[in-house]
Structure 1
Amino acid sequence: MTDFLDRLTPWQREVLSAFFEREQGFYLTGGAALVGYHIGHRETLDLDLFTTDAEAFERGRYVLTDLAAALGAELSIRQDAPGFRRVVLTRDGEGLVVDLVIERVPQATPTKLVIDGVRVDPVFEILANKLCAVVGRAEERDIVDLWALEQSGLRVED
């Protein structure tokens, strides 16, 4: 399942590793989970770290500050709203958008995978989320992800 980790940038992999060494109350979902851990079909520019735990969400801000210092990165806050926090971690001219999100929707698959210390959303959960995303925001990447999931053998009908 980790055959696709090279589809994530070294900076993305380093941030994921550092984050999950410090905090296990989140899980990776969205494009980075699909690209790095499930089907490796495209590149992704951000990391979507979700939690269902409000306390973990609050800890997340401190975890990002700590890991930025430990990795020699600059952290800039782009958005800080109830249940959503977007930061950019920049090091050596390479920026990485990291979103921390409280997931308020019940999970179809509440048990997450743990791969090399990183908690990852199962592919079925990502499929369900992508279907909702297509209806809600209709971004090209969501259509590409649904197509790739279908091509990998995961059927929407399932």
Structure 2
Amino acid sequence: MSAGGPDWARLFRIACSLIRQVNSQQVIVDSWSFGGGTAMMLQIGHRESHDVDIFLPDAQFLSFLDPKLHDFEFEIMPSDYGGDGAGFLKLAFEEIGEIDFIVAHALTDTPTTKRMIEGESVDVETIAELIAKKIHYRGASIKPRDIFDIAAAAQHDRDALVGALRGHKDDVAKTLSAIERLNPDFVNATIAELMIKDRFKPIAQTAFEDAKAILKSV
């Protein structure tokens, strides 16, 4: 944590400031949602997370948010930034974290809920939507951190998670296959290195098997 508050909060304020600056003359970025590990942390308090993921419905928004193309005012200047112009834009802030603007559509019937964060009324992605996106976009190359997040999400609301994933059985199958190929000792050791909150520490010890069981039940 720095003088400006938690790192995620500083990054979130910067992301919101960029969107406000883009919309200062006319509303261009008219829809976005806050997702990823930090949005999940704020809802269930499972582990520490610092980066900020902002999901956008339209790839055209990326160019309006690109510091290479616009003279933005920053609370903290990014140390690096770049993207592919079609799927993502990443802004890195040395010793703080990253802001990712990601083009992705909703995958669940009720993908967001309104919440006040840092004084902003924000569409925050639900736990089920967060996990559905992990499985859809990263399932085939799933990481131990994602496996823990699946287990933690199920601890929070297993029925809602399983129900949401039933519409994405192909993605679930690919994710389950990827998990089965991982070394359990490697997964458990990597999860143990995460900054897990006390209430979720018992889940860390069984997350590998828990995640597999959850996906098999879909």
- Normalising by structure 1, we get a TM-score of 0.73
CA separation in 1, counterparts of 2:83 and 2:61? 18
AA in 1 matched with 2:134 = K
User: For residues 98-147 of structure 1, what are the alpha-carbon distances to aligned partners after superposition, in whole Å with 9 as ceiling and x for unaligned?
Assistant: 211111x4432355524231332122211322333562221011111111
Higher helix share: 2
Which position in structure 1 is the counterpart of 2:16? 20
Instruction: Map 1:50-129; keep pairs closer than 5 Å.
Output: 50-62=55-67, 66=72, 69-90=73-94, 94-103=95-104, 105-108=105-108, 109-116=110-117, 117=120, 118-129=122-133
Alignment equivalent of 2:40, drawn from 34, 44, 54 = 34
| Residues 18 and 134 (structure 1), Cα distance of their counterparts in 2 relative to 1, 3 Å cut | closer
Q: Structure 1 regions of 5+ residues with no counterpart?
A: 1-8
Matched, 1:154 2:155: no
Which protein, 1 or 2, shows the higher relative CO under an 8 Å CA cutoff with sep ≥ 6? 1
Please state how far the C-alpha of 1:21 moved relative to its aligned partner: 4.3
Percent identity at matched positions? 23
| Residues 154 and 57 (structure 1), Cα distance of their counterparts in 2 relative to 1, 3 Å cut | farther
Question: Partner of 2:157: helix, strand, or coil?
Answer: coil
- Structure 1 runs of 4+ aligned residues shifted over 3 Å read 62-65, 78-81
Cα RMSD (Å) of the superposition? 2.8
CA separation in 1, counterparts of 2:71 and 2:48? 26
Q: Which has the larger radius of gyration?
A: 2
CA separation in 1, counterparts of 2:90 and 2:40? 20
Which position in structure 2 is the counterpart of 1:4? none
